[in-house]
Structure 1
Amino acid sequence: MTSDIKVGSLEEEALKRKERLRALKRKPEQDSNGTNTSSENLPKPTFRSYKPQDEQLQENTLPNTKPSDLESEVKEQLESAKTAKTLIEDLDITNLAPRKPDWDLKRDIAKKLDKLERRTQKAIAELIRERLRSNKEDLSTIVNVAALTNDKQRNDEDE
């Protein structure tokens, strides 16, 4: 008897599965017939330049838009163009050109070199004054010597 009960319950389960499969097969058929489709799911058209004759569709038309104030927009663009033009004029070509690899080092040391250059000039002037006091030599020869030392220092800096 236990085997009869098992067979009976298995048959019932098989019948239930068959019924579920039939229901699943019927469901797509019902959808294709249009019984479940609703008009609420469809998107509503919006009309911008077209004016429909149907009263129901006229509700979906967009209101006429007014053109924006073009004069103010043009004035703003002209003003921005003027500022851009001044920016272009302010731009220096040397800033755009590629630089040597050591340009940053030279930039960083420039202040120190200027300070040293001033000290050097003061020292040269002081040396000239001392020679004038001590030797009482001809002024032109001393100035020539100072000029030569200046030129020599500048040549050394360039190298």
Structure 2
Amino acid sequence: MADVGNLGNEALKRKERLKALRAKKQKRSAHNDDGEHEDSSEKEQLPKPIFRSYKPKSEVLKEGSLPRIKPEDVSEKVKDQLESAKTDHSIDEVDLTNLAPRKPDWDLKRDVAKKLEKLERRTQRAIAELIRERLKASKEDFANVINAASVTENQVDEDD
């Protein structure tokens, strides 16, 4: 119930503000009626029209029209452009590698190259780890295994 009382007070305040605004507006209109008119001052402030393509028939409006503009001679500019187009461009400067078509899967290889590098590193690590495990399992000396591997490589080279 307290809200209803507050709403009533707010409504009364709003009515008072509106009355004050109306009174203020009436004072302004009364002042303008006694002295200068608003309409005449607004007419003086309006800009005068400028006619670019319209030809007014009224003598009063003809003052605001712009004089006709003659088109500029562009024949010299056209001649200059034609002369610049006649110059011979050497074909020797063209790089044929840029003109050659690329393979249809070049973009796929480019995108996959980074991933392949990572996989290659992981593969090398895994191979090295497997070799270490085999060596530990066989419990042989590392030097003997390396010597045996180099001996087999030499034999393969001699056979070729």
Shorter-chain-normalised TM-score: which range? Answer: 0.3 to 0.5
Name the TM-score, length of structure 1 as normaliser.
0.35
When you count helix as a share of all residues, which structure comes out higher? 1
Name the TM-score, length of structure 2 as normaliser.
0.35
